[in-house]
Structure 1
Amino acid sequence: MHYILNPWPWYVSGPLIALVMALLLYFGKTFGMSSNLRTMCSIAGAGKFTDFFKFNWKDQIWNLTVVLGAIIGGFIAVQFLSNDSGTNLNPTTITELQNMGFKNPGTGLVPNEIFGLDALASPKALILLVVGGLLVGFGTRYAAGCTSGHAILGLSSLQKPSLIAVIGFFIGGLIMANFILPLIF
């Protein structure tokens, strides 16, 4: 059952994010999804193979609640708070995506040609996902954090490395969307 709701306005969601960040800073915790992957790898025994995963992962159990919350929150958002309106794209963007081979751009949150289950059967999409995942993993490690950690916590605590990382994320996204993606599709 879907309830027809609009996204929360910025004046509700923004202060809630700020409150969470203030609480994390107060308790001396850091936030970021990539640190959860490191914790899960450490729990699985990756510390036997590389020193990067040798740390007391029990100190990071609290952060795994972020993953659980993201999964549960995403489910609730899609199942109960979504109005199935898709994404409001500029008509020029829709035309450009259709010219690249995307069938129904803007009708969903992400294109099925890349993120749908059928994409796993396509070697091109599968290679794109694997290479993209490896590049994101490398970038996350190289930047000492992911987009959520740098953009939300790093910027809110006025960290210069996070500002540099976020600028790099945006530049990389612009290059990918405007130059590399058209070459791939």
Structure 2
Amino acid sequence: MEYILNPWPWYVSGPLITLVMALLLYFGKTFGMSSNLRTMCAIGGAGKFSDFFKFNWKDQTWNLIVVLGALIGGFIATQYLSNNTPTNLNPLTVSELQNMGFKNAGANLVPNEIFALETLNLKNLLLLIVGGLLVGFGTRYAGGCTSGHAITGLSSLQKPSLIAVIGFFIGGLIMANLMLPLIFEL
């Protein structure tokens, strides 16, 4: 008999995230993935070129373990805990994506039409580079990333995080519903 793995339900993963956040708050730590890039740049000597990277990065080494755990956990989840069943998307969403040129919507974690090496062209390369730069700028401008603001900031009742999360959602809705269709019509 084959055992089919499913994602962890919210009532397991939610309390685990809550437990981690409670421990971080208790120990006076904050969580966010983008702050790790600053730490890695500081380790690499970026403080010689910018004051932004001049800080005691050794105080943040614990957070680098979080990145390592995310990488290892992601590998374990995709290699051993996935059942390779396509994501069950709304038929209207599938139809809209097919109209934009996405053949197998929901079949992979990311669409092959953008991220596969076989489909790498100037348009996709520009989309990835410009998107990466905008995400990086937005993260720096907002003072953190989605995980930092949405998990740490909201759990510690920070008003700037609430504003940032609302902005993230509005930006995501605009991108998904207005910009993406325009980009893929080109």
In the alignment, which residue of structure 2 is the partner of 1:146? 145
Q: Is residue 3–residue 82 contact of structure 1 (8 Å, CA) maintained in 2?
A: no
In the alignment, which residue of structure 1 is the partner of 2:26? 26
Give the aligned residue type for 2:124.
Answer: A
Offset of 1:3 from its aligned partner? Answer: 6.0
- Scaled by the length of structure 1, the TM-score of the pair is 0.96
In the alignment, which residue of structure 2 is the partner of 1:177? 176
In the alignment, which residue of structure 2 is the partner of 1:109? 109
Give me the whole-angstrom Cα distance separating, in 2, the residues matched to 1:3 and 1:114. 32
Q: Is residue 31–residue 149 contact of structure 1 (8 Å, CA) maintained in 2?
A: yes
Offset of 1:4 from its aligned partner? Answer: 2.5
Give me the whole-angstrom Cα distance separating, in 1, the residues matched to 2:101 and 2:27. 48
Correspondences of 1:1-185 after superposition (within 5 Å): 4-119=4-119, 121-185=120-184
Deviations 1:8-60 (A, max 9, x none): 11111100000000000000001000000000111111111111111111111
Say what the alpha-carbon RMSD is for the aligned residues. Answer: 1.2
Give me the whole-angstrom Cα distance separating, in 1, the residues matched to 2:157 and 2:34. 20
Offset of 1:118 from its aligned partner? Answer: 2.6
Offset of 1:178 from its aligned partner? Answer: 0.4
Give me the whole-angstrom Cα distance separating, in 1, the residues matched to 2:177 and 2:170. 11
Residues paired across the two proteins, number: 183
- Scaled by the length of structure 2, the TM-score of the pair is 0.95
Deviations 1:92-130 (A, max 9, x none): 1111111111111111121111222334x3111111111
Give me the whole-angstrom Cα distance separating, in 1, the residues matched to 2:41 and 2:86. 35
Give me the whole-angstrom Cα distance separating, in 2, the residues matched to 1:69 and 1:117. 27
Give the aligned residue type for 2:116.
Answer: G
Deviations 1:65-90 (A, max 9, x none): 11100100000001110011122111
